[in-house]
């Protein structure tokens, strides 16, 4: 990988890691579901007019939009709003690789190797340590919401693999059009129009900046650059850089939000990152589907 491409991969990981700190700041300005809806609205407009027509079937765009946009980000934002720290969220969300491997085995027949199974076990041990750390001082309910968000992310990864979009940026922009109305409807039902209108009327430069960052920098630039790298390098070369996301997430949360990082959290980080590395980088074996037996005709 060229030095410029190496730098770009690190920049994308940093952008995605710092995103959790920006989300934490944005949740001080918006209710979580409204904030998530604004994120996708701003990501989709005006980009949707410049990326061209969708290059995959609409069924995949709608499916990924609902699972990734509504379920995953809705649960993540609600969990963080309920008290899940930004740095810990960036770490715990990486368990999505375990969910991805499990769902891929069930749906795509990708049988995990022993190394991948070991990685899943190590990552789950890291989640257990993180749960103990969070349970001592935070909300296990908010922790569970982020775990559920990671499960939805894993499902969306498998759906995206089935869709096989030739253009990652085009796909992500069109996917961003799907969650806007469902998230707005959920926000009106659960957070209330009064709270939503109050947040919009009180909009200031900091609130607008958080929406701009999570929409344009994290979504449009981040996914566009990541897809560009995947088109030019093997996935096994690009994927390891995503392991830097919780490093930047925990560091930025400690620097800008003053979040403490306990010894247990560092232990959880080491187990999770190591387990995710084994799970993500170990190849999977595809289970051979048995061929259908020909029907036996009765003798005349």
Per-residue pLDDT at 136 = 58
Which residue blocks in 138-234 are alpha helix, DSSP H? 140-163, 168-176, 180-190, 193-201, 205-212, 222-232
pLDDT band with cut points at 50, 70 and 90 for residue 298? very low
Residues 6+ apart with CB under 8 A from 201: none
Q: Distance between CA 26 and CA 147 in Å, rounded? A: 21
Per-residue pLDDT at 192 = 96
Higher-pLDDT residue of 138 and 244 is: 244
For the chain, state the CA radius of gyration.
Answer: 20
Per-residue pLDDT at 210 = 97
**Sign for the pseudo-dihedral over CA of 176, 177, 178, 182:** positive
Per-residue pLDDT at 235 = 66
Q: Distance between CA 221 and CA 128 in Å, rounded? A: 33
Per-residue pLDDT at 211 = 97
Per-residue pLDDT at 296 = 45
Per-residue pLDDT at 282 = 61
Helices H / strands E in the chain, number of each: 16, 2
Give the pLDDT mean for 163-182: 93
Enclosing H/E stretch for 111: strand 110-112
The DSSP secondary-structure symbol of 294 reads P
Give the pLDDT mean for 254-260: 90
The mean-pLDDT minimum among 134-138, 204-208, 283-287 falls in 283-287
Half-sphere exposure (Cβ direction) of 133: Cα atoms closer than 13 Å: 23
Mean pLDDT of the chain: 87
Give the pLDDT mean for 27-43: 96
Share of the chain above pLDDT 70, in %: 91
Q: Distance between CA 279 and CA 110 in Å, rounded? A: 13
Per-residue pLDDT at 135 = 63
Q: Distance between CA 271 and CA 129 in Å, rounded? A: 9
Does residue 292 register a pLDDT over 90?
no
Higher-pLDDT residue of 297 and 138 is: 138
Does residue 93 register a pLDDT over 70?
yes
Instruction: Using DSSP, state whether 285 is helix, strand or coil.
Output: strand
Per-residue pLDDT at 137 = 64
Give the pLDDT mean for 68-90: 94
Q: Supply the pTM of this predicted model.
A: 0.86
């Amino acid at each position: 990988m060229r030095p410029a491409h190496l730098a770009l991969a690190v920049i994308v990981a940093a952008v995605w890691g710092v995103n959790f700190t920006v989300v934490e700041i944005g949740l001080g300005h918006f209710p979580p579901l409204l904030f998530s809806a604004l994120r996708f609205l701003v990501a989709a407009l005006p980009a949707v007019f410049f990326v061209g027509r969708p290059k995959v079937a609409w069924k995949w765009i709608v499916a990924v939009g609902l699972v990734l946009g509504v379920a995953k980000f809705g649960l993540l934002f609600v969990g963080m709003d309920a008290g899940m720290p930004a740095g810990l969220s960036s770490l715990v969300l990486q368990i999505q690789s375990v969910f991805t491997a499990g769902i891929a085995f069930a749906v795509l027949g990708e049988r995990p190797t022993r190394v991948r199974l070991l990685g899943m076990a190590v990552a789950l041990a890291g989640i257990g340590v993180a749960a103990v750390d969070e349970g001592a001082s935070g909300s296990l309910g908010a922790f569970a919401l982020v775990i559920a968000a990671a499960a939805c992310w894993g499902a969306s990864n498998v759906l995206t693999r089935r869709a096989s979009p030739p253009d990652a940026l085009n796909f992500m922009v069109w996917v961003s059009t799907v969650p806007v109305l469902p998230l707005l409807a959920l926000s009106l039902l659960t957070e209330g129009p009064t709270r939503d209108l109050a947040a919009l009327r009180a909009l200031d430069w900091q609130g607008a900046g958080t929406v701009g960052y999570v929409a344009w920098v994290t979504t449009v630039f981040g996914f566009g650059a990541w897809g560009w790298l995947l088109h030019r390098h093997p996935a096994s070369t690009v994927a390891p850089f995503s392991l830097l996301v919780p490093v930047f997430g925990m560091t930025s949360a400690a620097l800008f939000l003053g979040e403490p990082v306990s010894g247990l959290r560092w232990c959880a980080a080491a187990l999770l990152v190591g387990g995710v590395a084994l799970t993500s980088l170990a190849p999977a074996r595809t289970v051979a589907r048995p061929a259908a037996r020909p029907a036996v005709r009765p003798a005349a």
